[in-house]
Amino acid sequence: MKKITMIKIPGCPYCAKAKKAFEELCQKPEYANAEVEVIDEQMQPELVTPYNGKYYYVPSLFIDGEKLFEAQPGQDYETIKAAVEKTLKAAAE
* pLDDT one-digit tens code per residue, 25-80: 999 999 999 999 999 999 999 999 999 999 999 999 999 999 999 999 999 999 99
What pLDDT is attached to residue 7?
98
What pLDDT is attached to residue 87?
98
Q: Structure pTM?
A: 0.94
What's the per-residue H, E or C state across 21-82? HHHHHCCCHHHCCCCEEEEECCCCHHHHHHHCCCCCCCCEEEECCEEEEECCCCCCHHHHHH
What pLDDT is attached to residue 21?
98
What pLDDT is attached to residue 92?
93
What pLDDT is attached to residue 70?
98
60 burial type by CB count under 10 A (0-12 exposed, 13-18 middle, 19+ buried): buried
